[in-house]
Amino acid sequence: MIKVNGIDIEADGTVFAGKTVAEYLSTTNYDCKRIAIEKNGEIVPKAKYGETLLAEGDSLEVVSFVGGG
Amino acid sequence: MSAGCECSAVGELRTPSREEMLAALVVRQGAENVQKLQAATVAVCGLGGLGSNVAISLARAGVGKLILIDFDCVDVTNLHRQQYKATQVGLAKAVALPENLREISPYIELESHQVRITEENVMELVGKADVVVEAFDNAEAKAMLVNAVLENGKTLVAASGMAGFGDANSIQTRRVSKKFYMCGDGVSDVNDGVGLVAPRVMACAAHQALTIIRIICGLENMTTKTSVI
């Protein structure tokens, strides 16, 4: 099981283990310029989305920003 | 003047001494917390609706030093929610906010920078801070700052989602991970044309300021669950 924001992203049978964070993001509507990602409690550097591999048991938090302040 | 009023006339006013102000803070916040707050440095990135309110809360609470950063000037459209005066329109926020903070809290140490924060200069600006506040208004700038600060291992309190007239109870503080806190409702985007109203922005700024005070006073690890794992 791989969780993103608490939800199992492999629940429908799609396998993300072995894929990169960038490959996961390409299946979503996230705007890469407006997010920060933590994997198992550690920030994933923006420059490493394409090389950071997802593994069984990983827990991701994708934090998305909106305007206003 | 009403009977029994012992207030001073304008000409008789005296600003309290540093010692008097600290003693008053100790009564409300406790000696140990005041000591920790006095020793802390907080960097406030963006001095708008969030940042100006956060800075004033932290100054009142006795935070020893603030690093204040904003490239912008006070605009008439800021006055409804930001801690500036009509007499300061046109002034750099990095000049105007220190003026206002000095009136409120004359003994705080302030470092002010009128500069646009970029990935290149961010750590030079906030490197000495114990906690960094993300208080921008632009979503992409928020994400840039959050990534840069977290990649450098600093503790960050960010905000997202405080536009509109929605009720204030939807504004929350979430601890995303050990060093990363997010305040706001997460979704209310000013670019959706929902407006921006002072109390809602201030509620979010209050969440940020209280979180920072709790971090500095060492109250966070004891009570807040992380959302991760």
ipTM: 0.95
For residue B14, being part of any structural domain is answered with no
Contact B134, B184 (CB under 8 A): no
Name the residue in chain A with its Cα closest to that of B163: A68
For residue B180, the enclosing domain spans: 39-223
Residue B84: both structure tokens together: 């500036």
Residue with the two structure tokens 């991701």? A60
Q: Edge to edge, what strands does the sheet with B180-184 contain?
A: B109-113, B65-69, B41-45, B131-134, B155-159, B180-184, B172-177
For residue B67, being part of any structural domain is answered with yes
pLDDT of residue B208: 98
Chain B residues in contact with A35 by the CB 8 A cut-off are 143
Name the residue in chain B with its Cα closest to that of A35: B143
DSSP bridge pairs for B65? B41, B109
pLDDT of residue B2: 56
pLDDT of residue B4: 66
Residue A29: both structure tokens together: 């509507």
- The verdict on a CB contact (< 8 Å) between B150 and A36 is yes
- Tell me which H or E stretch contains B32: helix B31-38
Interchain contact A57–B (C-beta under 8 A): no
Domain count, chain B: 1
Give DSSP secondary structure letters for B151-203: HTT-EEEEE----BS--GGG-EEEEEETTEEEEE-S---GGGT--B-HHHHHH
Interchain contact A1–B (C-beta under 8 A): no
pLDDT of residue B222: 57
For residue B24, being part of any structural domain is answered with no
For residue B229, being part of any structural domain is answered with no
pLDDT of residue A62: 97
Q: Which is nearest to B154 in space by CA: B129, B191, B186?
A: B129
Question: How confident is the model over A24-68, as pLDDT tens digits?
Answer: 999 999 999 999 999 999 999 999 999 999 999 999 999 999 999
Interchain contact A43–B (C-beta under 8 A): yes
CA distance A42 to chain B (A): 7
Name the residue in chain A with its Cα closest to that of B185: A66
For residue B158, being part of any structural domain is answered with yes
Residue B85: both structure tokens together: 């005066």
Query: In angstroms, what CA-CA distances link B42 with B21, B108, B120, B128, B221?
Result: 20, 12, 20, 9, 19
- The verdict on a CB contact (< 8 Å) between B188 and A68 is yes
- Tell me which H or E stretch contains B175: strand B172-177
- How many other CB atoms are found less than 10 A from the CB of residue B201? 27
For residue B13, being part of any structural domain is answered with no
pLDDT of residue B221: 80
DSSP label at residue B27? H
- Residue ranges and CATH numbers for the domains of chain A are 3-64 (3.10.20.30)
- The verdict on a CB contact (< 8 Å) between A67 and B182 is no
Q: Report how many Cβ contacts below 8 Å link chain A to chain B.
A: 96
For residue B21, being part of any structural domain is answered with no
Residues of chain B with pLDDT under 50: 223-229
For residue B127, being part of any structural domain is answered with yes
Chain A residues in contact with B201 by the CB 8 A cut-off are 68-69
> Residue type at B183?
C
CA distance B88 to chain A (A): 19
Chain A residues in contact with B150 by the CB 8 A cut-off are 36, 38, 43
Q: Which is nearest to B205 in space by CA: B87, B29, B83, B71?
A: B83
pLDDT of residue B224: 47
DSSP bridge pairs for B110? B66
Contact A66, B161 (CB under 8 A): yes
Contact B79, B53 (CB under 8 A): no
Q: Could you tell me the CATH number of the domain that includes residue B135?
A: 3.40.50.720
pLDDT of residue A24: 97
pLDDT of residue A33: 97
